[in-house]
Amino acid sequence: MNLFNDIMTVSELTREIKQTLESNFEKITVQGEISNFKAHYSGHWYFSLKDKDATISCTMWKGFNNLVFFTPEDGMKVIINGKLSVYPPRGSYQIDVRSMKPTGVGELQAAFERLKKKLSEEGLFDDENKNAIPLFPKKIGIVTAIDGAAFQDMISVAKRRYPLVELVIFPSKVQGSGSAESIVKGINNLNKQKDIDLIIIGRGGGSIEDLWAFNEEIVAREIFSSKIPIISGIGHEIDFTIADFVSDLRAPTPTAAMELATPNQIEIKYFIKEFVDNSELRLKDKIVNLHYNIGKVINSYGFKLPENFVQQNYQKVDNLVYKVFANIDKRIIHYKNKISLLTKSVENFDVQKTLKKGYVLVKQNSKFVTRAKNFKLKNSTSLKFYDKEIKLE
């Protein structure tokens, strides 16, 4: 017998083990506690499943973990379905997980309490961090499933109570895989719009599993970081989620959320009517009181004294006016006389008047000759008389 015929390579042995394990453990259901949970940036999950005596590695690929409605965390007890697989490069075996669920409501409640404690210690529930809810919102954003009865109820309440409001809907998944991410996206997108005054997130009632999307940490942190006030209306009155604690105002139901978000038009109309009626009565009373007070002032001695003072000074004003006008007239006559004298002076220097007296103007070379020494016998001469001008060549 040749012993070397039974010798196998590492790869051959691993391959045999892989075929044996994977063929015999194609469909397995295992219960255990999660530890070392890591969500890779690629979207895949890597973790271990353990009990008090053993630990086994697990992998859940992105395509399958998208169907898990909650975010696993260390210490959570779960039931997984999948198959056994061998990873040859390390010679290790692991469970290729296809589905996962908590072992019961108790596990989800425990996860709820852990997250609630964590966020509370960080201050996400503190009143000082909450935004005020506007009294008269013009635009309300709604993040919910549009095929649910809760959505129709909210629209009905808005139309009945405050038809002036505009509703901006962001359709969202509110249950199952991807619902938490969908809610986060809705809040984020509404915050990008500058004219949204208020946001309502909500859904109808259900089990803790149905409402779990509103217990996810990513939803809680998105609500906390929202610049727009948020009202939560999730489930029934007895249901509480992490979102309810973080939101600026918690309503027991989606319908109640819309009621808290909108003023009642009936109350507004009643207030306006009452205000107008009261204002009319108050205005009439005010007018009567003012009329009485004005009458008292007008008829009082103190009010009559200024009137007498004005009347006593009427004549003084008239005298001053008379003096002003008299002075103006006097100055006008003065200036008229002065102008008359100046006019006569100007007339005395009139050339035509001088010529009329028998004087003659002598002009040579277009210039007047005013001295005998400047007169040239040989030059052409012009003699200007009063009635005619004669030229001598």
Mean pLDDT within 34-60? 91
Q: Which residue has the tokens 């220097």?
A: 349
Q: 233 near 256, Cβ under 8 Å?
A: yes
Cα separation of 245 and 345, whole Å?
Answer: 109
Worst-scoring range by mean pLDDT, 29-38, 110-119, 148-157, 363-372?
363-372
Better-scored residue on pLDDT, 280 or 149: 149
CA proximity to 250, closest of 233, 268, 264, 270 = 233
DSSP string covering 9-25: -HHHHHHHHHHHHHHH-
Given this model, what pLDDT does residue 311 score? 65
Q: Is the pLDDT of residue 15 over 90?
A: no
Please, which pLDDT band fits residue 300 given cuts at 50, 70 and 90?
confident
Worst-scoring range by mean pLDDT, 28-32, 49-53, 92-96, 357-361?
357-361
Task: Measure CA of the first residue to CA of the last residue in the chain; give whole Å.
Answer: 173
Coil/strand/helix, residue 28: strand
Please, which pLDDT band fits residue 4 given cuts at 50, 70 and 90?
low
Given this model, what pLDDT does residue 301 score? 66
Q: In 123-260, at which residue ranges do the beta strands (DSSP E only) sit?
A: 139-144, 166-171, 198-203, 230-234, 249-251
Q: Is the pLDDT of residue 157 over 90?
A: yes
Identify residue 183 by its one-letter amino acid code: I
Cross-strand pairs, 101: 79
Q: Is the pLDDT of residue 231 over 70?
A: yes
Given this model, what pLDDT does residue 2 score? 46
Tally the residues of the chain.
393
The pTM for the full model equals 0.59
Q: Is the pLDDT of residue 137 over 60?
A: yes
Mean pLDDT within 25-31? 91
DSSP H helical ranges for 299-313: 301-312
Q: 261 near 135, Cβ under 8 Å?
A: no
Better-scored residue on pLDDT, 125 or 2: 125
Cross-strand pairs, 364: 367
Q: 268 near 284, Cβ under 8 Å?
A: no
The overall average pLDDT reported for the chain is 87
Cα separation of 111 and 384, whole Å?
Answer: 133
Cα separation of 54 and 296, whole Å?
Answer: 102
Please, which pLDDT band fits residue 302 given cuts at 50, 70 and 90?
low
Worst-scoring range by mean pLDDT, 73-82, 102-111, 254-263?
102-111
Cα separation of 247 and 226, whole Å?
Answer: 9
Q: 265 near 161, Cβ under 8 Å?
A: yes
Mean pLDDT within 158-162? 94
Given this model, what pLDDT does residue 201 score? 97
Please, which pLDDT band fits residue 21 given cuts at 50, 70 and 90?
confident
Q: What is the pLDDT of residues 330-377, one digit of tens each?
A: 888 888 888 888 887 777 767 777 777 777 888 878 788 778 787 877
Given this model, what pLDDT does residue 306 score? 66
